[in-house]
Amino acid sequence: MAYLPMRLLSIVIVMLFLIVCQDPAKARDWTEILAAARGQTVYFNGWGGSEVINRYISWAAEQAGQRYGVTVKHVKVADIGDVVSRILAEKSGGRTSGGSVDLMWINGENFHAMKNNGLLLPSYTQLFPNYPLVDTENKVSTLFDFTVPVDNQESPWGMAQLVFLYDSEIVTDPPADMRELLQFSQNNKGRFTYPAPPDFYGTTFIKQALLELTTDRELLYTPVNSARFEAVTAPLWEFLDSLHPHLWRSGKAHPKSAPEMKRLLADREIFISLSFNPAEASNAIATGELPPSIRTYVHDGGTIGNTHFLAIPFNSSAAEGAMVVANFLLSPEAQARKSDPAIWGDPTVLALAKLSPEQRSLFEAIPLGAATLNPEELGAVLLEPHASWVAAIEKEWQSRYSK
Amino acid sequence: MPGQRSRLKIFPALALAIFLLPILAGLLFTWAPAFGYLSAAGSTHFSLEPFATLLRHPSLPGALRSTLISGVGASLLSLALALWIAATLYGTRLWSVIELSLAPLLSLPHAAFAIGFTFLIAPSGWLIRAVSPYPSGFTYPPDWITAGDPWAVSLTLTMLFKETPFLLLMIFSGLSRLDVRRTIMIGRSLGYRRLRIWTRLIIPQLYPMLRLPLLAVLAYSLSVVDLAYIIGPSLPPTLAVLIDRWFNAPEISSRLVGAAGSLLLLFVTLACIVSALALEYLISKVGSRKILDGRRQSPFEVLVPTGSLYALVLLAVNLFSLLALILWSVAHSWRFPHFFPTRFSLTNWSTPLRQLLEPLSVSALAALLSCLLAIILVVGCFENEQNLARTRIASISQRSLWIIYLPLLIPQISFLFGIQVVLVIFHLDGTWPALVWVHLVFVLPYVFLTLANAYRSYDQRYSYVGMTLCGGPLRTLFRIKLIMLAKPILFSMAVGFGVSIAQYLPTLYVGAGRFATITTETVSIASGSDRRVMAVYALTQLLLALTGFLTAIVLPAAMFRKRKAMQN
């Protein structure tokens, strides 16, 4: 029992430390954060639908344990909304510390809602040693998540851009914009579809159509304007009205998600699918999920792009550990591994120009994959409309097509 | 033995406490947001706005329609068809085949079956592949609406095929309490044909034992979320899916609408239950007059062969859904129109096997603990019941025991959000006791249901003999009664084990992300695209549930190896 006093002492030290560090967001030295993180267990909550991504996270968890003494537990969920609900229940139950979620994978509307309801830790990413490497200049969505200022309340993790996947064995000349997509659907009845909103991908497809078709794009970047909603979205509904009869199942049923569309593409039910990951096709070919004939294309004039983030809830019980993990996931090493299509193929948020030559070579060594477009081919990135448009568009969509 | 009686009294009281308090609290804390109260979202005043938003929602009428079609349709059809199978096949060889297949049928998880069944009936699925490209001429799958149709037919069929085995199990256990063989003999000697014997003599005795299972199936079918996601309609989805989405939506305020929706679903479920009871009353009123009309024949007698047809379809659909899953789990690529995978691979199994070790052990432990607790409580309740019956004292706690069925009759989604808040307040979320308790809430009623008939028809005279020979009621219980009842007890525990393994929403809401079970992992992987990995997870889930049933079959066989009379 000789170790007991030592143990007590260490508990007292830890307690004192916790009292001192009550507000992890206060400007603090990174070495202090590293010290506090050691021994913590970080519950990382995120969508767990992809073995490829799950494998990458378990690699990162291993690294975090070896390098920083942080245990990472990956909590796989079918829908991150469940996790938002849980944090909300914790807030309702008065739990302002000792929460069950330490790090979560979110962006867009979920971030917007969590930020507005005070469910996130105040700004902290500015403390990360790797944060200065983020390409905030060219990748504006790392600062504005669906136009909502990030304010250092979530750490950029990966880039996304809407791309279309097609079977090059069947489709020789993929559509170059929404009008051509409509033509394609008219000529190939039942061979294209999109997920029903509120699925994330369905909503994105509709926003993409809106951005391409509306005459007043600027208005979409301000909070939704109910007075002008009808005029701004009129071309969209006209387009969808003419598209729907030619969709898969004549538009009477929609897939529930983009993953389901990927299955339909593999099953040859549809010829064109969509994804948010430009390297998804290459990755799925590598795993055998999609045939080697699948290729990627984007619309002329650009497609919607955004950033996905890692955020720490306000009541995290291991905020320092979560910061250390998020910072590690921002490191050139972790980011390069993530962008390899053989591993995951998720584009980096870092600016290659800000990296050292050795760090840059990590990225340059990665083969792009036959089905992945290079940055020039990917073309312009369109910014997400203001987050408030989503609810308005979904509502209108439902009253038109989901009765 | 007054001491013994008062000690036994604790069991119904305990069983009720386990259910009543938390569910009431859960309901209340879910209703609060329905009336505008959700402090975390800054909404703290009473309002009916959530209901107004709900009723104005464009998808509501369509969602209600799908919910009613699939919920009411699936439960009434599965009862009718299960009874039809029993009436037309009782005593045949197919009847024994069905009895043997019940364990594997029941251990095939709902979601796994739905994934397999979808692959059977989809236009790019197995049935169409069997005839493509020759002779159908399809080089690409036809653009037909089969799985996920807007009329919820495919969803109804899925639930029909999944619930019929459960009702058959209940019929088997109910029939064991009736003297069917002799009833049939008497009926025949009076000149009654097969169907008349069943409709006039057996079903009237059997139905009271099927009433609760039917209502449980009804409530389940009306509120099921995962099946409706996989094979239900999409425009709009069922009410349960809409509610689930509202509870998950990014806008915090939509949780208020979700809470209002869950209250509506509760109301719909109760209304359906009351209607079912009213229908039963009506049928029994009309039927009791006809029952004595003396007619020996029914015009439907010619339809008797269709019973084996449906039974074969039921078995085949389950078998082929399972086969599809097995093939997918070892496929590398398998595109339309190939009937078999073009490339096989075992790599689908390699990663999950390592990752599934922890979820498997968590699932097994939670299931085992909740089953053990459930069986202790259930046996205690039955013993108390038999004690009371002997002394002819009806107690309030005994009469209110129907409350343990409450979790089966109330949609899960109507009280889980509230339970989560209550657990958070008491710092019990994410703990083992909370997890085991929430599983117990759903395991106990099923253990109760599946054991009731066997336990109640036990011949008490064995116990009296035991008591005169060696004394001690406890000794008699453990040395004679429980051993003689080992088979049904273990089987009901296996059912409970399977129920615990299948719990998704309760584990999610109570577990605080601390417990990854085989089912939470399966559901999260099912939200992805890879059917091969999904198949691996679903099969692992099936294997765990099947282990429970196999134990329940093998253990008594081994125990009674040397006791001939116990081996049937």
* Length of chain A in terms of residues written: 403
Distance of CA B230 to the CA centre of its chain: 18
User: For A256, which residue in chain B has the nearest alpha carbon?
Assistant: B234
Q: What is the pLDDT of residue A26?
A: 47
Beta strands in A190-279 (DSSP E): 272-275
Is B234 within 8 Å of A266 when comparing Cβ atoms?
no
Q: What percent of chain B has pLDDT over 90?
A: 61
Among B552, B379, B391, residue whose Cα is nearest residue B482: B379
What does CATH list as the number for A29-158+307-368? 3.40.190.10
Is B420 within 8 Å of A399 when comparing Cβ atoms?
no
**Cα of B17 to nearest chain A Cα, Å:** 22
Interface predicted TM-score (ipTM): 0.90
pLDDT mean over A369-389:
88
User: For B532, which residue in chain A has the nearest alpha carbon?
Assistant: A289
Among B272, B231, B239, residue whose Cα is nearest residue B258: B239
Is A254 within 8 Å of B234 when comparing Cβ atoms?
yes
How do the domains of chain A map onto residue ranges? Answer: 29-158+307-368, 163-305+379-401
CA atoms within 13 A on the CB side of B288: 6
CA atoms within 13 A on the CB side of A394: 25
Among A323, A278, A281, A271, residue whose Cα is nearest residue A298: A278
Question: Which residue matches tokens 């994330």?
Answer: A200
Q: What is the pLDDT of residue A7?
A: 52
Residues from chain B contacting residue A248 (CB–CB below 8 Å): 143
Kindly state the DSSP code that residue A42 receives in the 8-state scheme.
Answer: E
Q: Under CATH, what is the fold of the domain A163-305+379-401?
A: D-Maltodextrin-Binding Protein; domain 2 (3.40.190)
The three-class DSSP label of residue B346 is coil
Residues from chain A contacting residue B532 (CB–CB below 8 Å): 289
pLDDT mean over A261-288:
94
Assign domain B1-32+353-561 one CATH number from 3.40.50.150, 1.10.3720.10, 1.10.20.140, 2.30.42.10: 1.10.3720.10
Q: Do domains A29-158+307-368 and A163-305+379-401 have the same CATH topology?
A: yes
Check pLDDT > 50 for residue A1: no
pLDDT mean over B150-175:
95
Is A100 within 8 Å of B513 when comparing Cβ atoms?
yes
Check pLDDT > 70 for residue B395: no
Pick the more confident residue, B94 or B177: B94
Check pLDDT > 70 for residue B397: no
pLDDT mean over A311-339:
97
User: Tokens for B535?
Assistant: 């198949």
Q: Is B82 at the interface with chain A, CB within 8 A?
A: no
Is A269 within 8 Å of B58 when comparing Cβ atoms?
no
- Amino acid letter for position A190: G
Interface test with A, best of B427, B530, B531, B537 (most A CBs within 10 A): B530
Q: What is the pLDDT of residue B392?
A: 65
Cα–Cα distance measured from residue A371 to residue A294, given in angstroms and rounded to the nearest whole number: 7
Cα–Cα distance measured from residue B268 to residue B64, given in angstroms and rounded to the nearest whole number: 9
Alpha helices, DSSP H only, in B176-253?
A: 180-189, 194-196, 203-223, 226-231, 239-248
Check pLDDT > 70 for residue A17: no
Cα–Cα distance measured from residue B34 to residue B43, given in angstroms and rounded to the nearest whole number: 11
pLDDT mean over B248-260:
88
Q: Is A385 at the interface with chain B, CB within 8 A?
A: no
Contacts with A244 (C-beta within 8 Å, 6 or more apart), sequence order: A250, A251, A401
Question: Which residue matches tokens 């997400």?
Answer: A384
- Counting other chains too, the contacts that B476-482 makes at CB distance below 8 Å and 24 or more residues apart are B477/B383, B482/B379
Touching A: B residues 97-126, CB under 8 Å: 122-124
The answer to whether A96 touches A314, Cβ cutoff 8 Å, is: yes
- Name the band, by pLDDT with cuts 50, 70 and 90, for residue B568: low
Residues from chain A contacting residue B335 (CB–CB below 8 Å): 266-268, 291
Cα–Cα distance measured from residue A38 to residue A36, given in angstroms and rounded to the nearest whole number: 6
Among B81, B84, B85, residue whose Cα is nearest residue B160: B81
Q: How far is CA A67 from CA A37, A63, A64, in A?
A: 11, 6, 5
Q: Is A244 at the interface with chain B, CB within 8 A?
A: no
How many Cβ pairs within 8 Å bridge chains A and B? 197
pLDDT in tens, B404-460: 788 888 888 888 888 888 899 889 999 999 999 999 999 999 999 899 889 988 888
The answer to whether A347 touches A159, Cβ cutoff 8 Å, is: yes
Cα–Cα distance measured from residue A160 to residue A53, given in angstroms and rounded to the nearest whole number: 15
User: Tokens for A242?
Assistant: 């003419």
Q: Under CATH, what is the fold of the domain B71-342?
A: MetI-like fold (1.10.3720)
Is B58 within 8 Å of A78 when comparing Cβ atoms?
no
Interface test with A, best of B244, B527, B532, B533 (most A CBs within 10 A): B527
Residues from chain A contacting residue B342 (CB–CB below 8 Å): none
Residues from chain B contacting residue A402 (CB–CB below 8 Å): 58-59, 62, 235-236
Residues from chain B contacting residue A73 (CB–CB below 8 Å): 513
pLDDT in tens, B375-390: 999 999 888 888 877 7
Least confident of A33-37, A83-87, A247-251, B160-164: A83-87
Is A92 within 8 Å of B38 when comparing Cβ atoms?
yes
Q: What is the pLDDT of residue A21?
A: 45
Cα–Cα distance measured from residue B408 to residue B212, given in angstroms and rounded to the nearest whole number: 9
Residues from chain A contacting residue B422 (CB–CB below 8 Å): 93
Is B343 within 8 Å of A288 when comparing Cβ atoms?
yes
Cα–Cα distance measured from residue A303 to residue A164, given in angstroms and rounded to the nearest whole number: 10
Q: What percent of chain B has pLDDT over 70?
A: 97
Q: Is B232 at the interface with chain A, CB within 8 A?
A: no
Peptide bond into A5 cis (omega under 30): no
DSSP secondary structure, B34-79, as one string: HTTEEGGGTEES--SHHHHHHHH-TTHHHHHHHHHHHHHHHHHHHH
Handedness of CA B456, B461, B465, B467 (dihedral sign): positive
Check pLDDT > 90 for residue A9: no
Q: Is A260 at the interface with chain B, CB within 8 A?
A: yes
The answer to whether B60 touches B69, Cβ cutoff 8 Å, is: no
Contacts with A349 (C-beta within 8 Å, 6 or more apart), sequence order: A134, A135, A139, A142, A156, A157, A158, A159, A307, A330, A335
Count Cβ atoms within 10 A of the Cβ of residue B425 and give its class: 0-12 exposed, 13-18 middle, 19 or more buried. middle
The answer to whether A171 touches A271, Cβ cutoff 8 Å, is: yes
How do the domains of chain B map onto residue ranges? Answer: 1-32+353-561, 71-342
